[in-house]
Structure 1
Amino acid sequence: MTGSDNGAVAIGIDFGTLSGRAVVASVADGRELASAEHVYAHGAIEEALPGSGVPLPRSWALQSPQDWVDVIKNAVPAALAAAGVSADQVVGIATDFTACTILPTTADGTPLCELDEFRDRPHAWPKLWKHHAAQGQADRINAVAAERGESWLPRYGGKISSEWAYAKGLQLLEEDPELYARADRWIEAADWIIWQLCGEETRNSCTAGYKGIVQDGERPSREYLAALNPDFADFNAKMEHPLSALGDKAGGLTEQAAAWTGLNPGTVVAVGNVDAHVTAASAKAVGPAKMVAIMGTSTCHVVNGEELKEVPGMCGVVRDGITKGLWGYEAGQSGVGDIFAWFTKNSVPAAYTEEADRRGISIHEYLTELAAEQPVGAHGLVALDWHSGNRSVLVDHDLHGVIAGLSLLTKPEEVYRALVEATAFGTRMIVETLVNAGVPIDEFVAAGGLLKNKWLMQTYADVLRMPITVLTSEQGPALGSAIHAAVAAGVYPDIHAASEAMGKVERAAYVPDPARADAYDELYAVYVDLHDHFGRGGSDALHKLHKIATEATK
């Protein structure tokens, strides 16, 4: 089969934080024939368990596996129907997921939260990527690894995140040892959903490398794990499985999954992948030196390099982690769109909301209009974008947001603007850290929901002093998954050919304005000063506040 075959399509499914989306795309040119979204019934579970109402502690975030299956049952048939294509035209299906979103299961893949005796136990449920309650375990993982001189630690910028597999697994052991013992498998949602589709457990090289500390084919040693906790020594057994390369075939749809989706049994299912990493394919950025930023509730930054470099504070560098034959670097910001949503929910006067409603626009659009009227720096503010902690480059989720320069004259739109600028400054910090470590970046490609805000995107171009290429598909991850499905089905020989044929971008859609860029340089210098003061030892105030709040809410 070739990419020019008429009528052949691939399906990509993107599992996000609050919903899942399915896209039907032509394998000839990536044209999106239809898409459908299914909103999770349970969303992000952050306050109490469904059904039992068991309250969750601070910094917890869970999900329901049933929500993911419901995406398969609802979004895929809806997208197929909207596209007007038959099951016979579908050459393959592929998925992508948030990461590290991970869950404990029995040997046959049954989530522990679906067993009656464990439904009211928080640790039985999948831990969403933004579950940050394992920071204490992450701190010990890092301290012991540094003390022992573990060779894999520099590959992760010197710190393992509380969001990842080992920190969450150690938290499970230490807070609910009975469930830990019952968990035969500790598996990324990205791999679990493939298990449900094709009936076979697989493990993808992307999540294993970035979130599961697999480097050069090895996981952390039994001796190291025992040093963390003697009962943790055998933890690797819960994850051990041969790894599959991205774009490979995982198997074929089972009879059950075919009934869920309306597709033919045996339809090719690609190996699982991560939402950010799979987007490189739809953004035509599978080669080196092209950074892709997937900008939504959070932002993930990925870029390929031809050489191995150890970059402080990165989420990891993994051989073949994004594209075969290259070193894939990952960084990220734990809160971006979430920060703007928090502000509009909690800090906007009723008069603003009423005016936005009167004009028939969202409160975000209204605040953007007001903010865009101001010259750079006129608000006298600089914020730190740590409302959900700092993923890169400090890798510390006990840090939280700061807004400096507030006065009695400060207006809501000025704070809103400062928060937008803070996220742009955080991205610049990541870009500069990579470049200073020897990882070239000659193109910045943006994807995700925040692309709808043109002023925000121009602000990023000005702050970065770089033109910004944009992914023109509104479903970048899902399209990226469809591209990988086409490779797994043999439509294209590799991801390079598939990406070139099916990817969708507009080059240099935003170009920096020199005068605004100069003004932002001054604000960025203040951001760096605050960043290092609160994040690198100048003051421990944010950690103390987090500890006080945690103790007070126990």
Structure 2
Amino acid sequence: MVPTLILIDENGKPLYNSIQQNDSRAIEEIEYFKKMIDKEVYFSVTGNTVNQQVIFPKFLWLRKHVPDKVKHTRWIMGSYNFINFKLTGIPNLEKNWALESGLWKIEDGWYKDILDASEIPESILPEVYEPWDIVGGTTRELEEETGIPEGIPVTAGSADHIASALAVGMSRNGDLLLKFGGAGDILFVTEQLKLSKKLFIDYHDIPNCYVLNGCMASSGSIVKWFKNEFAPNVNFDELTEMARTAGVGSGGIVMLPYFIGEKTPIFDAKARGTMVGLSLFHNKGHMFRSILEAVAFGFRHHVEVIEEMGFAIERVFMSNGGAKNELWRQIVADVVGYDAVYITNHPGSSLGAAFIAGKATGMFEDWDEINKFLKTKEKISYDQDNHEVYSKYYEIYRDTYTSLKSVFEKLYEVYHEKSES
């Protein structure tokens, strides 16, 4: 949802359907800006690359295809900013929306060169607020329409992935979160501003901190795909036991989890899922475990990028639905080589957003007070022997992609030639 793009008219009404983060309609516009912009300067100023997430190629697409909508645009906002606007009547943007829009200088302020290049007038960009800033209070009109009382303070809020980082207690320099969702997220807290083209960067909800983040396009979605397509009559507990029996290394299978291409750290939309080492000896358990290990190898790839940047990882957390699987938690800990803390019964980003509101209104004095709500935790200790074995498989994992990169490109070309014909 961040950075969603919504065009809003002078009466506060949306002019067009929202355009979501990963919407890829602006392919031509992205290529146009890549040729037009000095990419190195742009990256150093904004921490962004020109990709399908940033706002300005989409705005150019809108100007081409629905010029009348753009002509009548009074404000640009994101999803949660628009909700805040409806609650308070005050146009607003939260700082991480601004950063992820690609229009914002990471050191603060709109990047006028990009605004000019994309013909986005600064006048349609509302004031930018920190997550903990109070935008305003709920309105009399809202009370009459919904019954929500007038005058309730409304904070600027947070990007969902950043709120979820706060919600596991990531309040210290060196904290790392591994999220086992449909996609795999990797979030690292640092007080030092340091950029990598292999990772995204956000502001933390906590002042004076940044969050380096990676996103693996496929993670839990591959687990669901495998079960639905190849084991529809086997439940997840049974598959897990079969995977446990398969043992470390899945009987010699190495898998690449790039089923819909990959975002960080390789940024290769043409990469695809691959299983190497299959034989007639292998069964569903071996293949299922290879999926769990492939995602773990993807996490380790990101950990290496963070370490290569000179950062020290101090604490590791695990969260999201896939982390409920005890075997998967252990595999990830063994692969990355760190002990970890799993937050059981975790409510997700909603807790982080609620805590920000409490902090903004004086209910909490310190950001570490988030731990009051994280009473049930489980420690996962990694196994050094397993880690050493996995390190050998990890090298093969990395070599497999390097060896097949050109094959993926050829396969993409052949497939799309057939599709177009």
Which residue of 2 is the match for residue 234 of structure 1? Answer: 120
**Does 2:326 align with 1:454?**
yes
Which residue of 2 is the match for residue 103 of structure 1? Answer: 6
Match of 2:263 among 388, 391, 413: 391
Alpha-carbon distance in structure 1 between the residues aligned to 2:271 and 2:36: 21
TM-score (norm 1): 0.68
1:434-513 aligned at under 5 Å gives the runs 434-494=306-366, 496-504=367-375, 506=377, 509-513=379-383
Alpha-carbon distance in structure 2 between the residues aligned to 1:336 and 1:143: 33
1:363-442 aligned at under 5 Å gives the runs 363-442=235-314
Asked if the contact 1:331/1:430 (under 8 Å) is kept, the reply is: yes
Relative to 1, partners in 2 of residues 1:369 and 1:155: Cα closer, same or farther, differing over 3 Å?
Answer: same
Asked if the contact 2:178/2:318 (under 8 Å) is kept, the reply is: yes
Relative to 1, partners in 2 of residues 1:195 and 1:458: Cα closer, same or farther, differing over 3 Å?
Answer: same
What is the total number of aligned residue pairs between the two structures?
420
**Does 2:69 align with 1:186?**
no
TM-score (norm 2): 0.88
Match of 1:532 among 385, 402, 407: 402
**Does 2:238 align with 1:353?**
no
Asked if the contact 1:160/1:395 (under 8 Å) is kept, the reply is: no
**Residue by residue, what CA displacement relative to the aligned partner does 1:25-65 show, whole Å, maximum 9, x if unpaired?**
xxxxxxxxxxxxxxxxxxxxxxxxxxxxxxxxxxxxxxxxx
Deviation at 1:198, TM superposition (A): 2.4
Alpha-carbon distance in structure 2 between the residues aligned to 1:372 and 1:136: 47
Letter matched to residue 155 of structure 2: A
Relative to 1, partners in 2 of residues 1:222 and 1:392: Cα closer, same or farther, differing over 3 Å?
Answer: same
Which residue of 2 is the match for residue 302 of structure 1? Answer: 187
Match of 2:112 among 221, 224, 228: 221
1:3-22 aligned at under 5 Å gives the runs none
Relative to 1, partners in 2 of residues 1:223 and 1:516: Cα closer, same or farther, differing over 3 Å?
Answer: closer
Alpha-carbon distance in structure 1 between the residues aligned to 2:312 and 2:32: 33
Alpha-carbon distance in structure 1 between the residues aligned to 2:164 and 2:315: 15
SS of the equivalent of 2:265 reads: coil
**Residue by residue, what CA displacement relative to the aligned partner does 1:243-283 show, whole Å, maximum 9, x if unpaired?**
11112212223346557776433222221211111123221
Asked if the contact 2:135/2:154 (under 8 Å) is kept, the reply is: yes
Deviation at 1:384, TM superposition (A): 1.9
Which residue of 2 is the match for residue 337 of structure 1? Answer: 220
Alpha-carbon distance in structure 2 between the residues aligned to 1:524 and 1:287: 29
Which residue of 2 is the match for residue 20 of structure 1? Answer: none
Letter matched to residue 332 of structure 1: C
Which residue of 1 is the match for residue 150 of structure 2? Answer: 265
Alpha-carbon distance in structure 2 between the residues aligned to 1:271 and 1:236: 20
Structure 2: stretches of 5+ with no match in the other structure: none
Letter matched to residue 389 of structure 1: G
Relative to 1, partners in 2 of residues 1:404 and 1:289: Cα closer, same or farther, differing over 3 Å?
Answer: same
Deviation at 1:480, TM superposition (A): 1.0
SS of the equivalent of 2:85 reads: helix
**Residue by residue, what CA displacement relative to the aligned partner does 1:280-320 show, whole Å, maximum 9, x if unpaired?**
3221112210012333112332222122222231112x4x4
Alpha-carbon distance in structure 2 between the residues aligned to 1:187 and 1:168: 13
Letter matched to residue 243 of structure 1: V
Give aligned-pair identity as a percent: 20
Which residue of 2 is the match for residue 126 of structure 1? Answer: 18
**Residue by residue, what CA displacement relative to the aligned partner does 1:164-185 show, whole Å, maximum 9, x if unpaired?**
3234334434555454445443
Alpha-carbon distance in structure 1 between the residues aligned to 2:7 and 2:411: 32
Asked if the contact 2:132/2:205 (under 8 Å) is kept, the reply is: no
Alpha-carbon distance in structure 1 between the residues aligned to 2:354 and 2:364: 12
Deviation at 1:447, TM superposition (A): 1.6
SS of the equivalent of 1:463 reads: helix
SS of the equivalent of 2:19 reads: coil
Asked if the contact 1:283/1:505 (under 8 Å) is kept, the reply is: no
Relative to 1, partners in 2 of residues 1:254 and 1:300: Cα closer, same or farther, differing over 3 Å?
Answer: farther
Deviation at 1:547, TM superposition (A): 8.0
Which residue of 2 is the match for residue 204 of structure 1? Answer: 94
The range that moved more, 212-221 or 202-211, is 212-221
**Does 2:419 align with 1:552?**
yes
Letter matched to residue 331 of structure 1: G
**Does 2:373 align with 1:516?**
no
Alpha-carbon distance in structure 1 between the residues aligned to 2:220 and 2:377: 23
The range that moved more, 419-428 or 180-189, is 180-189
Q: Identify the structure with bigger relative contact order (alpha carbons < 8 Å, sequence gap 6+).
A: 1
**Residue by residue, what CA displacement relative to the aligned partner does 1:397-432 show, whole Å, maximum 9, x if unpaired?**
343333333345543333322222221111111111
Asked if the contact 2:183/2:216 (under 8 Å) is kept, the reply is: yes
Deviation at 1:224, TM superposition (A): 7.5
Deviation at 1:188, TM superposition (A): 1.6
Alpha-carbon distance in structure 1 between the residues aligned to 2:97 and 2:160: 11
SS of the equivalent of 1:241 reads: coil
Letter matched to residue 196 of structure 1: K
Which residue of 1 is the match for residue 58 of structure 2? Answer: 168
Alpha-carbon distance in structure 1 between the residues aligned to 2:41 and 2:370: 40
Letter matched to residue 512 of structure 1: Y
Asked if the contact 2:243/2:250 (under 8 Å) is kept, the reply is: no
Which residue of 2 is the match for residue 120 of structure 1? Answer: none
Structure 1: stretches of 5+ with no match in the other structure: 1-97, 113-123, 227-231, 357-362
Deviation at 1:450, TM superposition (A): 1.6
Alpha-carbon distance in structure 2 between the residues aligned to 1:292 and 1:520: 20
Deviation at 1:540, TM superposition (A): 5.9
**Residue by residue, what CA displacement relative to the aligned partner does 1:216-244 show, whole Å, maximum 9, x if unpaired?**
22334346863xxxxx3226554x22211
Match of 1:247 among 132, 140, 153: 132
Relative to 1, partners in 2 of residues 1:397 and 1:163: Cα closer, same or farther, differing over 3 Å?
Answer: farther
Alpha-carbon distance in structure 1 between the residues aligned to 2:415 and 2:63: 25
